[in-house]
Structure 1
Amino acid sequence: MSTGPVSLRPAGHPPVQKPRIGVLLMNLGTPEGTDYWNMRRYLKEFLSDPRVIEVPKAVWWPVLNGIVLTFRPSKSGHAYKTIWNEERNESPLKTVTRAQAEGVARALEERYGAEIVVDWAMRYGHPAVAPAIQRMKDQGCDRILLFPLYPQYSATTTATANDQAFRKLMKMRWQPAVRTVPAYSDEPGYIDALARSVTRHLEGLDWTPDLVLASFHGLPKLYLDRGDPYHCFCVKTARLLRERLGWPEERLRHSFQSRFGKAEWLKPYTDKTVEELARSGVKKIAIIAPGFSADCVETLEEIQGQVRDAFMAAGGEKFTYIPCLNDHPDHIAFLTGMVERELAGWIGAARKAAVAAE
C-alpha cells in the first residue's frame, strides 16, 4: 500500500528547487539620490555605455570625464530634485516600475499561483539586472523572460537592457533558458491603452486642445543612418494612435525631445515645435509621451517644466501633459497579456517539471 510519493533522488542529494518561471521587467535607470556624487555615478554608468554613446572611447572618454561628469551632475541633480519622490526617497521611475512589477505579479499569481516569479530591475543604477537574475535562479527559475519596458525598439534601450542580462548569463555555470519580449510599438493593446488615456485626460479638462503632440525621446540622427529602426517605430505609434482616436492628421503630430550635445538629432524637436506652434496661432496643446512606459525626469521635469515654459513664453495659453500609462489597470492588463503570450509553451511545461521534481 502506497504511503505517498517516493523520491528518486539518492540519499544525501542536496535539496532541489521546484522549477519555476521568472519574468524580469527592465527599465532604463535612476540615480540613488539627487546629490552630485550619486548623479555622477549614475551618469558615468549611463554615458559610458557604447550602445548609448557611439563615439570612439579615445575621443569620448576625455570629454566624459573631463567635462560632462564635472558639470552635468549638478544640473541633472537639480532636475531630479524637482520631481523626486520624497516619501520613498527615490525617483518616480523607480516608484512606478516597482508598482508595475507588483501589478503584473498579482495578476499572474491569480492565474498561475506560485509558478511564475516577477521581479524588476534597472539597466543603469539600482536595483541592478544581474542580482535580479540571480534571485530568480535561486528561487528555482530555470526559464526567464526578459521584458525591456521600451515600446519602440532601439539599440540604445531594448538592446542594451538585454545585453546587461546576457552579461550575467555568460558568468553562470547553470544558465536558465531565456526569452526576450519584443518591442511593442504597434501592439493593439498598447495603442488602445494609449488612446483611452488620451480620452480620459481630455475629458477631465474644461478646455479642448487645438492639437496633441506625441513627444518621443530623441536619438542622434547618425544612429538612424546606421540602421537603428527607432524613428520608424515612433512615427508608426503616433500614426496608429491618431487613427485609433479617429482624428485627422493635423490633430495629432509627433516630435522628439531630450537632445544632448551639438550633433543633429531626430527631428522635429519638441521644444522648437511647441514654440513654432504657439507663434503660428496654436494656443492650447496637450502633450503625451508614448515612448515612455513610466513617468520620469524626461516627462515630469522636461515636458511639464521646460517644454511647457517654452510654449507659454512663445505665446501659448493652455498646456497639459497626459501622463504615461504607468501602473494604470489598462497598462497592467496589457503587460500581463504580453507576458502570457511570450510564455506560451513554458507555463504548462514548468508545471509538469515541478510535479516530476517532487
Structure 2
Amino acid sequence: MARSRWTCVVMLCASFAAAAAKDEARTKVIVLGVDHAGQLVAPADSPAHLAAFLARADPDAICIERSPEEFARNSYYEFTYEIQDVAVPFARENGIVLCPVDWQPSAEDARLGFDLDLSSVPEVRPESGYQQFLSFAEPAQLRRTLFHADNPDNTQRIVHWATTPAVKAEHDLPRRMYLYRTFLQAKRLASAAKARPGSTVVLIVGEFHKRDIESILSTDAGIEIVQPSALGNPTRSELAAAWRRDHYAAIATFNLLGVQADTGNIDHEYVGNALISLEKHGQTPETRLLQARAALLAGRMGAAEAIDVYQRVAQQAGTAAFTWTGVQDRTRLDSYFDPFGNLTVRQRALLEVARERARLGDADQSDLRRKISSELSTRQAIQLAAYWDRYISGSGQTGG
C-alpha cells in the first residue's frame, strides 16, 4: 500500500515537472502592429521608441513583413521605414536573427487578379490612388503611440472589413488575398517560434494583420501571445540611447521635402527637435537647407529670405548628398514620399529656389529646370518634367 502511494506521488511529481517543462518551452510571441513609416510623423511612435522597445523585448528573433524570396535579395517594400531603417539595423547590430514572414502573389497572378503588377512602380507616380506618394494627412496620425494597435478599438474597422465579403464576389479579391496573406504570415511566424522553443520572437507587421495573426496562433500550445504594451513604454534614458543620426535626418527629410509638407499636417516641434539634434552633429549645407524649409513652412521665414538661403546652399553644397532619402531605385528621380528625392543637396536647393520664385509670381522657372535636368539621366529628366509641372509651377506646390 505504501509503495502504491509512493508510486502515485512520483507519477504526480513527474506530471507537474512535465507540465512545467512544457510551459518553459513555450515561445513568447510579441506582435507589434505598426502604421508603416508612421514613426516619421508621430513623436510618441518615433524610430527611437521602436528601437528601445526591441531592446527591452530582447528577442531571439525579429520577424519582419517581407517575403523570404525578396528578403534574400535584400529587397524591402519602399514604405516600411520601420523595417529596413530601424528593425533590420537593430537586429544586425545586436546579432539577432531576422525572419521574413510575408507572402505576396506572383506578378502573373497579380496581373490576372488586379490587372497590374503590384510591385511595379509607374514611371510617374499618380497624384492619388495606388502607388501615390506616401503622406499622413490626418492629425490623429501624429498622435499615434507605440502600442496603438494593442487596443482592439483601434483596429475594429480592419476586422469589420476582413470579415465582410464584398457585395459582388468579383470585387472580393483584395479581402480574400489579405486573409490568405495574413494566414501565411501567421504560419511562418509559428515556424520561427517553434524553431526557438522557450525563446522570445517579435513580429513587426502592419496593424491590419495583427489581430488575425494572434487569433490564428492563439490555440498553438507551444506559443504564448504577449501584448507589446505588457513590456511598458521605454524610459527617457532608453529613448536617448536608441536615437541615431539617421533617424533625425529621416524625420526632417520626410516632413520637409516630401509631399507630407503639402498636407500641412506636421508636428513642428518634433521636426524642430530632429533638426536641433542633426545640427549637433555639425552644420552642413543639408542642415541649412532643411532649417530654411522648416522655418518657411512654420511661417517664420518668407519666400525671399528662403531664396537667399537656398542660393547660398547651392553655392556651397558641391556634390553632397542627403543623409537619408528613402530612395530604393537610384535610376529614378523620386522616392516613395518625395517626387525629387534623388536630387543632391545642391540640386534640391536650386529646385527650392524655383518653387519659391513661382510662389512669388514668377511661374516661368524653365532656366532652373533645364539646369537641373542637364545633370540627370534621361529617365530622371522625364520624371523631373512631370513632377515639376505638378509640384513646382503647378497648383500642387507647397506653400510657406
User: Which has a greater percent of strand?
Assistant: 1
TM-score by length of 2: 0.33
User: Which has a greater percent of helix?
Assistant: 2
TM-score by length of 1: 0.35
Largest Rg, 1 or 2: 2
